[in-house]
Amino acid sequence: MTRSLTLLSVLWLAPLVALAGCAPEVRVDDAALRAARPTSLAVLPFEVAVATPSPRAAAQVEAVRVAVHGRLAGKAWLHLELDEVDRRLARAGLDRARAATASTQLLARVLDVDAVVRGRITGLTHLQGGVVFRQAIEGELRLVDARQGVELARVQHTESSAGGLLLDYSQSLEAVQATIDDSSDLGFVRLAERFAEAVA
């Protein structure tokens, strides 16, 4: 029984391991970036574009936004903090859906920045099958010149984490705890950090 479960988990996880190592797909418009020369940046609320979102999808997408903002904060930009972005959008009557469709010129006035990051999370996976688990984030980020509405860069990426645990005598308590942590909300936050590191 243990050997068949091991084979099952290896077959199920093999394509996921290959997927987890994929580099982001990046497109940069160098000419537009040189012409725009943005110096200030705001990370907008990310769009939830998951086919069948779970009740936790909005919170998970916000965790990805926070992770991306944290990674970008280390770059040479003047950053508008996320709570200030949300406050200014709310004062202008722009909720998440309206901000996603608002013109960049309006956003430039409301937020007083040169560029915005628009995020669209297209996949959130959380599968648990007893002996195996998989979590994945799939999404697209766009850096847009807020004054002209020109897309300066686009990054598409999928980050996943997969693993499992077969309860036999050789497994230590630490390994069991690590598997439980990695397949939990804590594991999702770690996954969001890896996604942000790859796309930033």
What is the rounded distance in angstroms from the CA atom of residue 27 to the CA atom of residue 104?
Answer: 20
Residue 197: CB partners within 8 Å, gap ≥ 6?
71
Residue 67 pLDDT: 94
State pLDDT tens for residues 131-167.
667 788 999 999 999 989 999 999 999 998 776 655 4
- Check the CA dihedral 103-107-112-113 and report its sign: negative
CB 168 within 8 A of CB 48: no
Ramachandran bin of 112, using left for φ above 0, alpha for ψ from -120 to 50, beta for the remaining angles? left
Q: Is the model's pLDDT at 75 over the cut of 90? A: no
What is the rounded distance in angstroms from the CA atom of residue 72 to the CA atom of residue 114?
Answer: 15
Question: What's the mean pLDDT in 1-24?
Answer: 42
Under the banding of pLDDT at 50, 70 and 90, the label for residue 42 is very high
- Record the tokens describing residue 68, joined without a space: 């991306």
What is the rounded distance in angstroms from the CA atom of residue 12 to the CA atom of residue 132?
Answer: 8
Q: Number of C-alpha atoms within 13 angstroms, CB side, residue 30?
A: 0
CB 129 within 8 A of CB 8: no
Task: Specify the higher pLDDT residue, 89 or 52.
Answer: 89
Residue 56 pLDDT: 86
Under the banding of pLDDT at 50, 70 and 90, the label for residue 8 is very low
